[in-house]
Amino acid sequence: MSQLEGASIHIRGIVQGVGFRPFVYGLATKLSLTGWVRNTSAGVDIEVDGLSVNLARFLDALGAQAPPLARIDEIVVNRRPANGFSQFEIVQSAGDAQAVQPISADVGICPDCLRELFDSSDRRYRYPFINCTNCGPRFTIIKDIPYDRPKTTMAPFEMCVQCAAEYHDPLDRRFHAQPVACADCGPRIWLEIEGGRHAAQEEALQAARGLLRKGKIVAIKGLGGFHLACDATNPEAVAELRRRKLRVDKPFALMMPDLATVEHHCLISSDERELLESRERPIVLLARKTGSPIVQEVAPRQRTLGVMLPYTPLHYLLLAQEEGMPEALVMTSGNLSEEPIATDNQEARERLLPLADAFLMHDREIHMRCDDSVVRVFGRTDGDGLVYSLRRGRGYAPTPIKIGWDAPAMLTAGAELKNAFCLTKHKYAFLSHHIGDLENYETLHSFEQGVAHFERLFRVQPEVLAYDLHPDYLATRYAWARAEREGLTAIGVQHHHAHIASCMAEHGLSGAQPVIGVVFDGTGYGDDGAIWGGEFLIADYQGYQRSYHLAYVPLPGGDKAIKEPWRQALAWLQLAGVGWDEDLPPVGAVAPEARAAVKRQIEVGLNTPLTSSMGRLFDAVSALAGVRQMANYEAQAAIEFETRVDPDEGGSYPFDIGEREIDPTPLIRAIVADIRAWVPVDMIAARFHTGVALMVHEVCKALREQHHLNEVVLSGGVWQNMTLLTKSYELLTQDGFDVYVHQQVPANDGGLALGQAAIAAHMINN
Ligand code: ZN
Ligand code: ZN
Ligand code: FE
């Protein structure tokens, strides 16, 4: 016999702004339960009374049937006698200054809203800001918590009677959808040309489409910032965009109207299809089909294209395939070269004026800048590929990463390039969205704004700061200055140690047992002052032991050598005892005076640090093989070298694995011999990649012997090289190693702050 009972329920996780309260309301009323539900700063609280059998069903369904955007991290249930409620209701949010409440990332338009958008009988027909509880802007419009309309940039728009009715109806899809709006009461679009308002609403949209068809460049305000758009099949338009943006060679992202069009231009697996259509709507790196009319200049000398599907209603309206609209638009961030993406209308007018022929504006303010995310699928076996994050932004941030320890209130500053910072509290790590390269004032300012916003949003007042050991990183200096000013504990974390910890943390490894960490990247400050980057560390969260590393080589000219790979190639030739003869590409490519200067730098050691960087070895070999002597963007030489790999070539080059050092000079000599024997570049590229993978396997085997460890963690930016990752992963897993690769968090420095947090937390707890 079922009897009347009660329960107090506390739920933690992403449960606000995702339709969770209406879901609870619907469920409770269906089961004849009484009581209430409300948002708190820490999650959702529920009080219910009802028959015990119904109560049990209610508790089961809470987790099992939660709305698609909800993520429940914890449910605490306290049984109690019935309270005697008379009905079920949704009550006012309760604030609590100390609590941590994850908030939802921005969500791509849902199928219901998309249907309404193109339904001429719907009252929101062709309204560019249609959204509901299941989709729309979140992170980029939220100013503070609890997530309610007055605390978003929707505050200035007063709801019309019809929108308000939907907003207040617990059974409506738009119940408490904070950005709810319609053409009568919500944000609007307009088009500006040469500083003047040219057209508004539908007319503005059609005018923008007309300009794009004609090969013009249009700045388009989106969710997390402005894009610069142009026809990706028009060579003049793309070349003009490159010229205006001062961007040489670095690939542009594309937006295509639908999957069928993507399939027309790219080869896609079922995993890639799923990712493209996911509500996060990232840019997915896809294999380009030969014969696609996308102009080569979009991604020069690459075999891949970065493609995303539309994610806002405005995008769908803009790309609709009528009237000869281009099948693909370049959609690149609205900025000049390396500055942050523009978000504010006035800022965009000022900064993008020389770049855009017209501006498609709207009047919903973007509170937090957020770039598009970039991912690819690792493992091409259809159906079990892994998401591999390259840049974590819109759609993913600020969803917290659950961590396996109780973290103090901490801020970790991250690295210099591809910066992201991280806040921790309780069992959450709030890794920020991609901030950018902290090399100019604008990006540093964006970093500081982001930190202040995250601290407020997640109610974290840091007691501890962690930073990279590199004394010149702006993020490091920020942490030092702040620790000094606020009297906080500051902890320096070695770069490559942080890389390994980042990968361990995202996989929830306890750290009770050390792992074999293979960290390959471009630049990281070593604890001996040299530039590391080809490292085998035995590591846990507390510490590391540098077991093997790539042999040191002079880096002639320091940072200059990163932009000029030929310099590193000459240094390796010298170390390998190979003369600088002009038949070798990096020698023949530069003037004798420049070579003489490099020779002097190596001899005297002037502005020539030592490095064990694997990224630089890739650069050097790319230059040696004649692929690229000068880089226009980070890692270009290595990236273009990878595209040359001949998949049918089975050979490899040898490393000399010593006691602690791994010497690549035998490999350098073998490549020189191949060049002189006219072996094609594609075979050289394949032999090099296989050689590195075999070396990784050999060293891991030696470390397994020595330390009786079986877990291998692969981290660092070089692991974005899919050829190397795939070959190494196969060799290691086939030999019985448990191999961990990055998924949610980038392998590059964009994931570093999470590792810093893991290490600093464990150092404090001990
Ligand atoms: Zn929707
Ligand atoms: Zn309205
Ligand atoms: Fe790094």
Distance 373 CA to ligand 3 centre (A): 19
Tokens of residue 588, six digits: 């023949």
Please name which ligand lies nearest the alpha carbon of 127: 2
Please name which ligand lies nearest the alpha carbon of 187: 2
Please name which ligand lies nearest the alpha carbon of 753: 3
Look at phi and psi of residue 195 and say left if phi exceeds 0, alpha if psi is from -120 to 50, else beta: left
Is the pLDDT at 226 greater than 80, yes or no? yes
**Predicted confidence band of residue 22 (pLDDT cuts 50, 70, 90):** confident
Please name which ligand lies nearest the alpha carbon of 157: 2
**238-268 pLDDT, tens digit each:** 999 999 999 999 999 999 999 999 999 999 9
> How much is the average pLDDT of 471-475?
95
> How much is the average pLDDT of 598-621?
96
Distance 411 CA to ligand 3 centre (A): 19
Please name which ligand lies nearest the alpha carbon of 181: 2
Distance 133 CA to ligand 1 centre (A): 6
Residues with CB in 5 Å of ion ligand 1: 110, 113, 132, 134-135
Distance 165 CA to ligand 2 centre (A): 9
Distance 118 CA to ligand 2 centre (A): 18
Q: Would you state the pLDDT for residue 2?
A: 74
**143-164 pLDDT, tens digit each:** 998 788 999 999 999 999 999 9
Tokens of residue 739, six digits: 């191999």
Q: Would you state the pLDDT for residue 170?
A: 82
Distance 341 CA to ligand 3 centre (A): 23
Provide the percentage of residues in the chain whose pLDDT is more than 90.
Answer: 88
How do beta strands 88-90 and 329-333 pair? unpaired
Q: Would you state the pLDDT for residue 100?
A: 73
> How much is the average pLDDT of 438-447?
93
Q: Would you state the pLDDT for residue 381?
A: 67
Distance 368 CA to ligand 3 centre (A): 26
Is the pLDDT at 592 greater than 60, yes or no? yes
Please name which ligand lies nearest the alpha carbon of 183: 2
Using alpha carbons, select from 661, 659, 671 the residue that is nearest to residue 576. Answer: 671
Residues with CB in 5 Å of ion ligand 3: 521, 524, 749
Least confident of 88-102, 335-349, 428-442, 733-747: 88-102
Please name which ligand lies nearest the alpha carbon of 158: 2
Please name which ligand lies nearest the alpha carbon of 498: 3
Q: What is the 3-state secondary structure (H, E, C) of 543-571?
A: CEEEEEEECCEECCCCHHHHHCHHHHHHH
What residue has token string 């407020």? 456
Distance 186 CA to ligand 2 centre (A): 6
Using alpha carbons, select from 580, 583, 549, 551 the residue that is nearest to residue 567. Answer: 580
Please name which ligand lies nearest the alpha carbon of 159: 2
Q: Would you state the pLDDT for residue 338?
A: 77
Whether 217 contacts 357, CB under 8 Å: yes
How crowded is residue 302: how many other Cβ atoms within 10 Å of its Cβ?
A: 17
> How much is the average pLDDT of 728-740?
97
Distance 197 CA to ligand 1 centre (A): 30
Least confident of 375-384, 633-642, 655-664: 375-384
Q: Would you state the pLDDT for residue 91?
A: 87
Using alpha carbons, select from 85, 726, 751, 106 the residue that is nearest to residue 381. Answer: 726
DSSP annotation of 434 reads: P
Is the pLDDT at 548 greater than 90, yes or no? yes
> How much is the average pLDDT of 471-496?
97
Distance 85 CA to ligand 1 centre (A): 33
Q: Would you state the pLDDT for residue 715?
A: 98
Evaluated on CA atoms 620, 626, 631, 634, the torsion sign reads negative
**113-136 pLDDT, tens digit each:** 999 999 999 999 999 999 999 999
Distance 596 CA to ligand 3 centre (A): 31
Nearest-angstrom CA–CA distance, 25 and 22: 5
Distance 752 CA to ligand 3 centre (A): 7
**Predicted confidence band of residue 14 (pLDDT cuts 50, 70, 90):** confident
Distance 259 CA to ligand 3 centre (A): 35
Q: What value does the mean pLDDT of the chain take?
A: 95
Which burial class, exposed, middle or buried, applies to 746 when counting CB atoms under 10 A from its CB (0-12, 13-18, 19+)? Answer: buried
Distance 148 CA to ligand 2 centre (A): 17
Distance 201 CA to ligand 1 centre (A): 21
Distance 314 CA to ligand 1 centre (A): 13
Q: Say which residues have a Cβ less than 8 Å from residue 296's Cβ, sequence separation at least 6.
A: none
Distance 340 CA to ligand 3 centre (A): 21
Q: Would you state the pLDDT for residue 380?
A: 58
pTM of the model: 0.94
Distance 166 CA to ligand 2 centre (A): 9
Is the pLDDT at 337 greater than 80, yes or no? no
Nearest-angstrom CA–CA distance, 96 and 116: 38
**61-108 pLDDT, tens digit each:** 998 999 988 999 999 999 999 998 999 998 877 666 566 778 889 999
Please name which ligand lies nearest the alpha carbon of 137: 1
Tokens of residue 445, six digits: 């300012």
Please name which ligand lies nearest the alpha carbon of 123: 2
Whether 292 contacts 264, CB under 8 Å: yes
Nearest-angstrom CA–CA distance, 137 and 104: 9
Distance 470 CA to ligand 3 centre (A): 11
Distance 632 CA to ligand 3 centre (A): 19
Q: Would you state the pLDDT for residue 647?
A: 96
> How much is the average pLDDT of 458-471?
96
Distance 276 CA to ligand 1 centre (A): 17
Distance 418 CA to ligand 1 centre (A): 32
DSSP annotation of 298 reads: G
∠ CA 257-261-267, rounded to 5°: 130
Please name which ligand lies nearest the alpha carbon of 522: 3
Whether 250 contacts 330, CB under 8 Å: no
Please name which ligand lies nearest the alpha carbon of 113: 1
**173-221 pLDDT, tens digit each:** 998 899 999 999 999 999 999 989 999 999 999 999 999 999 999 999 9
Distance 275 CA to ligand 3 centre (A): 26
Distance 749 CA to ligand 3 centre (A): 5
